Amino acid sequence: MQTFIYTWKRWSFGYKFLLNIILAGMFLFVSVTIRNPAAPRALAYNYLREAVKKSIYFKTWGWNTLEGEHFLLKYQDKDANVARLVLAAAEEAYRPVNEALDYRPVEKIPVIIYPDKAALNKSFGWDADENAMGVYWAGVIRITSPNDWVQDKKHLAQEFMQNGPITHEYAHLVVDYLTRGNYPRWLTEGVAQYLEREVTGFQFPAVEVKDKREFYGFKQMDGLFDTLPNQALAYSQSLAAVEYYIERYGFDSLQGLLLSLGQGKDLHHAFLLNTGRGLDQFEEDFQKWFMATLKSAKAG
């Protein structure tokens, strides 16, 4: 009987302690939500990102591992010949991208090399005809092995360093962490292309627009980016929008925009705070600038 009473008291104490912890957590959650309504979404996204990273580590548990100063690389035996090359490209992108966006990661970043595009697509459950060389999602950079897409094997290292996806995908990662997942697709694509060009010199061919009716709206490019019929135009517009932003308001303002998004501001108010123009006004200004730039280029 005494043992039962002792056990019951110990269980009762533990139950009350756990209940107090839950209530305190709920109180903290409600307090934070009232002060910053975006905080719960950011917190949930952080948990999702960490869960995805742990899932990737689990799925690639038996793969080879190569650890650098700032990155942790996972690859299969057939890609042993390019593992150090990929790691070198990642380390080379690390400092210039971080310095540009004033960001410092707190842990090593996972990079997964998939032997071919089919394997990369399968990791996301995509159709086999998807053609991505690299993808950033939820804290992890995934790339297709250069063995699969570089045609000139004699110059494989040079081709990968100049045209590979590492810098582009790492820039996506930094934008994601700075904004805590609160960003539109066109903005991160524009920033990634801009920094990729600054670091490696690579740029997709520009797409000419004859009439502003051909433009994709920012809302279209946010929600439907990957399904837009003219992908080249979507990427070209994204880069041009970031170029215009920097030309008009400066790179420091772009950093401020990303930080405002990270603080939970919606896109309109983040633009208003950092440029004095709302999102719709910025979009209208950008389209006029872009068309004027095209006319000027033709006249020259």
Q: Which residue has the tokens 């501001």?
A: 265
Q: Which residue has the tokens 């790492």?
A: 170
99: pLDDT strictly greater than 70: yes
Query: By percentage, how much of the chain surpasses pLDDT 90?
Result: 57
With H, G, I as helix, E, B as strand and everything else as coil, classify residue 250: coil
Choose the weakest-confidence range: 28-37, 97-106, 150-159. 28-37
Output the pLDDT for position 44. Answer: 82
Distance CA 87, CA 93 (A): 10
CA separation, residue 150 to residues 47, 49, 167 (Å): 36, 31, 17
* Higher-confidence position of 239 and 123: 239
In the numeric block, which tokens belong to residue 223? 């929600």
For the segment 200-255, what is each residue's pLDDT rounded down to a tens digit?
988 888 777 776 677 888 998 988 888 898 889 899 999 999 999 999 999 999 99
Rounded to 5 degrees, what are φ and ψ at 154?
A: -70, -30
23: pLDDT strictly greater than 70: no
CA separation, residue 148 to residues 118, 145, 245 (Å): 10, 6, 36
Output the pLDDT for position 10. Answer: 38
Output the pLDDT for position 28. Answer: 41
Output the pLDDT for position 296. Answer: 58
* Higher-confidence position of 3 and 146: 146
Could you tell me the pTM of the whole model? 0.84
